[in-house]
């Protein structure tokens, strides 16, 4: 008889951070644990899901897309309470929710926009942008680090990558912001569906323009490859941009906010960062913050995981926020150590086909912003407690009061 302690998708248990004690208990006693879910939709009501909390088991699930499919939606039903069957089918147009061979084909195309060379070509523009964000924030002696600093660069990076003109960036920012964070009353004002449609329409128009007037940019590459069949249709491109806005925005911003919060809460680590700028810091920020807490898969046949039988058609949720603190893998997981190496965290997903496409872009952004902060506001200190986003999906900090100088 499986015991349930918490439902680790319940947003209320994250209000003071990742529920580490409960996760540790689950990893020890019940690492593949059935959670009957009360709230849900799209035919999943009361079905529940399997919570996978150990590092090794998250790796095993993420590696095996034949058994653990992404097709039936990678987001947990309770995070999309109004989702219908049609809604799920619509989301299957997004790379995140595809399986091989469809996934393999589309990923091969979009990967062209994310090669190390493509990302590196953004470096000087993003560095200038990071320096400006930090300079503008520190005009005032104090402020909210999240809205002043952490939010800005991720959106600018995607806009830069796609070549969105300056005058359209404000709209893109608002659309993508209101598509996320709907579990938190502070952000649930806007209609996420309306915003998604706004962004989708904008992206499709952009793709349309590049098809008729090709330019030397990534959008043109994606929608107009020379070899037939190796490009995205206007619709596919629209969904791809939609995904980038969500996937690249809330995640990176929270890696930055958690990184800053952890550095300022551990002054010796902040001193060490300023003096040595270790390249290992970025991945420790991602492990520590685990900006995406969970993604799910659905079993395509009867299987078993860590000796626990799992029938076909059931949901299996991978808790990165637990795996990243697994004492079987990390020495002193609750010690924030910017020199941690190796650091095989799963913050960017496991090791499989869906490993974060934007990991290198995210790493570049985080690296640039922290270097700008260390250069321009070395005296930054915390001025109040971090306020967490109410969400079981995104480990988010929504406000972080600081004194810049
Ligand atoms: C996939 C986390 C930044 C684009 C993923 C996955 C995770 C993740 C956990 C795996 C999803 C799964 O297995 O189902 C993060 C974190 C980030 C970050 C923690 C920041 C620190 C970005 C950025 C972009 C991006 C900046 C793009 C601009 C994507 C895309 C996928 C993905 C397109 C889907 C890949 C696929 O399905 O093949 N990310 N991400 N991410 N991420 Fe990120």
pLDDT for residue 2 is more than 80: no
Q: Which positions ≥6 away from 132 have C-beta within 8 Å?
A: none
Q: What is the mean pLDDT of residues 130-158?
A: 94
Which residue do the tokens 């680590």 mark?
269
pLDDT for residue 38 is more than 80: no
The region of weakest confidence among 37-41, 209-213, 271-275, 366-370 is 37-41
pLDDT at 370: 98
The DSSP code for 292 is B
Which residue do the tokens 């147009």 mark?
93
Q: Cβ-count burial of 61 within 10 angstroms (0-12 exposed, 13-18 middle, 19+ buried)?
A: buried
- Consecutive H or E run containing 32: strand 32-35
164 Cα–ligand 1 center, Å: 20
Relative to the CA of 249, which ligand 1 atom is closest? 26
291 Cα–ligand 1 center, Å: 10
Q: Cβ distance 397 to 291 under 8 Å?
A: no
DSSP calls for 56-124: HHHHHHHH-TTTEESTT-SS-GGGSTT--HHHHHHHTTSGGG--TTHHHHHHHHHGGGGSHHHHHTTHH
Domain 11-403: assigned CATH number: 1.10.630.10
**Which amino acids bring their CB within 6 angstroms of ligand 1?**
62, 70, 74, 95-96, 107, 158, 243-244, 247-248, 251-252, 255, 286, 291-292, 295, 320, 347-349, 354, 356-358, 361-362
pLDDT at 182: 53
Q: Cβ-count burial of 276 within 10 angstroms (0-12 exposed, 13-18 middle, 19+ buried)?
A: exposed
Q: What is the spatial distance between Cα 114 and Cα 107, in angstroms, rounded to a whole number?
A: 10
294 Cα–ligand 1 center, Å: 12
Q: What is the spatial distance between Cα 108 and Cα 363, in angstroms, rounded to a whole number?
A: 21
The residue contributing the CA closest to ligand 1 atom 32 is 356
Which residue do the tokens 């947003």 mark?
11
What distance separates the 2 farthest-apart alpha carbons in the chain?
Answer: 63
Q: What is the pLDDT of residues 109-128, one digit of tens each?
A: 999 889 999 999 999 999 99
Relative to the CA of 286, which ligand 1 atom is closest? 21
The tokens describing 103, both together, are 């996934």
The residue contributing the CA closest to ligand 1 atom 38 is 354
Which residue do the tokens 């270790």 mark?
278
pLDDT for residue 320 is more than 50: yes
Q: What is the mean pLDDT of residues 76-82?
A: 73
Binning pLDDT at 50, 70 and 90, where does residue 42 land?
very low
Neighbours of 337 (CB within 10 A): 20
The tokens describing 229, both together, are 């069949």
- Domain spans in the chain, listed from the N-terminal domain onward: 11-403
Quote ipTM for the complex. 0.98
The tokens describing 160, both together, are 């830069």
pLDDT at 91: 83
Q: Cβ distance 90 to 42 under 8 Å?
A: no
pLDDT at 301: 98
């Amino acid at each position: 008889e499986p015991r349930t302690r918490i439902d680790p998708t319940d947003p209320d248990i994250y209000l003071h951070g990742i529920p580490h004690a409960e996760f540790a208990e689950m990893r020890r006693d019940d690492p593949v644990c059935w959670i009957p879910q009360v709230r849900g939709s799209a035919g999943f009501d009361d079905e529940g899901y399997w919570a996978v909390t150990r590092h090794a088991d998250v790796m095993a699930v993420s590696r095996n897309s034949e058994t653990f499919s992404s097709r039936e939606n990678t987001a947990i039903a309770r995070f999309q309470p109004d989702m219908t069957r049609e809604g799920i089918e619509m989301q299957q147009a997004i790379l995140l929710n595809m399986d091989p061979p469809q996934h393999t084909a589309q990923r091969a195309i979009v990967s062209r926009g994310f090669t190390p060379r493509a990302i590196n070509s953004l470096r000087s523009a993003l560095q200038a942008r990071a320096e400006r964000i930090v300079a503008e924030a520190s005009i005032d002696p104090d402020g909210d680090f999240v809205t002043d600093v952490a939010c800005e660069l991720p959106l600018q990076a995607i806009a830069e990558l796609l070549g969105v003109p300056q005058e359209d960036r404000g709209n893109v920012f608002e659309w993508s912001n209101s598509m996320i964070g709907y579990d938190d009353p502070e952000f649930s004002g806007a209609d996420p569906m309306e915003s998604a449609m706004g962004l989708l329409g904008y992206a499709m128009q952009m793709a349309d323009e590049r098809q008729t007037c090709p330019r030397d940019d990534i959008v043109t590459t994606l929608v107009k490859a020379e070899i037939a069949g190796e490009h995205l249709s206007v619709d596919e491109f629209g969904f791809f941009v939609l995904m980038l806005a969500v996937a690249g925005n809330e995640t990176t911003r929270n890696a930055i906010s958690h990184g800053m919060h952890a550095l300022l809460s551990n002054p010796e680590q902040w001193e060490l960062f300023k003096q040595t700028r270790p390249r290992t810091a970025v991945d420790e920020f991602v492990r520590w913050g685990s900006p995406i807490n969970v993604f799910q898969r659905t079993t395509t046949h009867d299987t078993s995981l860590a000796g626990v039988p799992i029938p076909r058609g059931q949901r299996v949720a991978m808790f990165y926020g637990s795996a990243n603190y697994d004492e079987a893998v990390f020495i002193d997981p609750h010690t924030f150590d910017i020199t941690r190496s190796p650091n095989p965290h799963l913050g960017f997903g496991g090791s499989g086909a869906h490993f974060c496409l934007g990991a290198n872009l995210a790493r570049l952004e985080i690296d640039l912003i922290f270097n700008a902060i260390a250069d321009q506001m070395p005296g930054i200190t915390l001025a109040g407690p971090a306020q967490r986003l109410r969400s079981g999906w995104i480990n988010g900090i929504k406000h972080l009061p600081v004194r810049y100088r």
